[in-house]
Amino acid sequence: MATRKDIQHSTDFLVIGSGIAGLSIALHAARYGSVTIITKKEDSESNTNYAQGGIACVLDPNDSPREHLEDTLNTGKGLCNCKAVEILVQEGPDRVKELLAMGVTFTTAPKSHAFAHLDLGREGGHSRNRIVHARDLTGRAVEKALLQNVKRNPNISLLQHHCAVELITNHHLKRSSPKSRCHGAYVFDAVHRVVFPLRARIVCLASGGGGRVYAHTTNPAIATGDGLACAYRAGADIANMEFIQFHPTTLYHPNADSFLISEALRGFGAVLRDSKGNEFMRKYHEMGSLAPRDVVARAIDTVIKQSGEPCVYLDVRHKPAEAAREAFPHIYAKCREYGIDFTRDLVPVVPAAHYICGGIRVNTHGNTNIDCLYACGEVASTGVHGANRLASNSLLEALVYAKRAAEHAAGRLSTAELIPADEIAPWDDSGTIDNEEWVLISHNFAEIGSVMWDYVGIVRSTLRLNRALRRIRLLDKEIEDFYRRTKITVKILELRNMVTTAKLIVLSALKRHESRGLHFTTDFPEQNDRYWKRDTVLSRSRKPGDRRP
């Protein structure tokens, strides 16, 4: 098949994804060798760019890493890896200071006693004000600064509109090798419509999450679980996929596409009310509207089902109007687009799928069980989040573990062989056709989202999960058959990865016979530490013939 002649087909580090994790790991790795980043859309399109709230970090002298650790462990409901959390809270401040040095402009407060006079907000589950933010567009500010630094670095190449099709493992080599190892990836160039092998000594997955498997999500369209699915097909262990965080407050409006209303608004003082104006969260948790996300999302789900109303409401009308507008200019402007002035009106909100707390199982250096394959960011399961992520720990985790992964991987360069090009099986799409049945693809996207939302949502049951599994397995078979007969497109790749990610979520949920954190099932409504205080792990052996070499 045709290939690209104008780009390098080998690199020291291949980074898949261009969010905060991918850009961070690239910048650190570039000190040790050549780096190629591939991203399937524009370079700034990622979950990071949509992150409003901020970065949880101990910078106030009245706060402490111990308190941040305890808040994280309490929210994680007994499944956090304590060592991983200790690393997070101890190394986090230095990573935030690096962002400041790169030019990220965080919001400041003249009277603050914290580092650099940063304004520190508060979000659900936190016992202290420790959220560093750039108004209500923190992710965008961080992404912009990281991208500027990446583009100035001569050791980094960034390929837009390129996506991974499969990871290159020993299965794809012409010679036999007993050790499981990653050698790069087959990459699809969506502009030229060609697939080519991109060889690498080290591969770093930083491809984000898969919120688009749900009909209602805060995630952008690119969040289709690509890295998760590729890693699983390659034989990587996947952990704790049942723990899907539903953000409690997204704008309820037919045209808003589940626009996120940041938890920072509740940290500012907004409270949740039902359709009759009652503040209901005190009935569910002592922290009220600032309770951890799993508690708030379930409470809203309960109130909606009991009342028959389609939503609940955020009320910030009691706070000074000018201060609210100044603190949340993006949210204010978006609400105004839909005729809502949050300084005078209640804001209708509902939960939506937001974040996968599980992912590719890694250790504290980002290693997977496949040699030379690393993962960091939302795609990885470091053990930091446990059964429920503490608000604003996600960007911090990406920063901390990207650096650790890059430095550990750099130590492998001298022994990580760059496989010769002629030893990799060429990509073979003979016998495939350009299929014009795009209605099948769009229908399958919608069906996956509907099945997951209806049966694998905030509240689950064994009956619902088994029903979901039957439908997802049928879709999986249909999509795989379609994939094998059809020339590659981005949409086909996304659909295939989405159905795999959905299957991993359902299988994990069925394996856990208790309710813990974000996984609540009516068949096992209690937390069971005796039998289930452990990770849920899914493994898959790589099988020949999985396609396409």
* 126-168 confidence digits (pLDDT tens): 999 999 988 767 888 898 899 999 999 999 999 999 999 999 9
| pLDDT category of residue 45 using cuts at 50, 70 and 90 | low
Q: What letter does residue 105 receive in the DSSP assignment?
A: -
Residue 38 has pLDDT above 80, yes or no: yes
* Predicted pLDDT of residue 549: 44
Span 332-357, average pLDDT:
96
Give the pLDDT confidence of 168-185 residue by residue, as tens digits.
Answer: 998 888 776 667 899 999
Q: Could you tell me the CA-to-CA distances from 492 to 270, 437, 440 in Å, in that order?
A: 42, 11, 10
The yes-or-no verdict on residue 448 having pLDDT over 90 is: yes
CATH number at 248-353: 3.90.700.10
pLDDT at 8: 62
Say how far apart CA 166 and CA 62 lie, in whole Å: 48
Q: Which regions of the chain carry the CATH code 1.20.58.100? A: 438-534
Candidates 293, 289, 281; CA nearest to 244 is: 293
CB-based contact 163:14 (threshold 8 Å): no
Question: In Å, what is the CA distance from 70 to each residue of 53, 75, 80, 86, 434?
Answer: 21, 8, 11, 10, 54
Closest CA to 72 of 399, 527, 384: 384
Cα 68 from Cα 132, distance rounded (Å): 14
Contact between 242 and 519 (Cβ < 8 Å): yes
Q: What is the pLDDT of residue 447?
A: 96
CATH architecture of 10-242+357-423: 3-Layer(bba) Sandwich (3.50)
Residue with tokens 């990770």: 535
N residues, the chain: 549
| Confidence at residue 43, expressed as pLDDT on a 0 to 100 scale | 57
The domain 438-534 having CATH identifier 1.20.58.100: the answer here is: yes
- Name which of 88, 77, 186, 153 is nearest 547 in CA terms: 186
Please compute the mean of the pLDDT values over residues 377-385 and round it to a whole number: 98
**The 3-state secondary structure of 281-339, one letter per residue:** HHHCCCCHHHCCHHHHHHHHHHHHHHHCCCCEEEECCCCCHHHHHHHCHHHHHHHHHCC
Full-model pTM: 0.91
Question: Pairing state of beta strands 35-39 and 55-56?
Answer: unpaired
Give the span between the Cα atoms of 143 and 154, in whole angstroms.
Answer: 19
| pLDDT tens for each residue of 522-543 | 999 999 999 999 999 999 765 4
Active-site residue list: 293
CA gap 119, 130 in Å, rounded: 9
> What is the pLDDT averaged over residues 330-355?
95
Residue 374 sits at the vertex; the CA angle it makes with 370 and 375, to the nearest 5 degrees, is: 120
Give percent of the chain with pLDDT exceeding 70. 93
Look at residue 89 and tell me whether its pLDDT is greater than 80: yes
Residue 258 or 509, more confident: 509
Domain with CATH 3.50.50.60 in the chain: 10-242+357-423
Task: Label residue 309 left, alpha or beta by phi (over 0 means left) and psi (-120 to 50 means alpha).
Answer: beta
Backbone angles phi and psi of 374, in degrees to 5 = -115, 160
Output the average pLDDT for the chain. 91
Indicate the SS3 state at residue 420: coil
Residue 491 has pLDDT above 70, yes or no: yes
Q: Could you give the count of Cα atoms lying within 13 Å of 200 in the half-sphere of its Cβ?
A: 33
DSSP letter for 434, please: -
pLDDT in tens, 401-439: 999 999 999 999 989 989 999 899 888 888 787 776 667
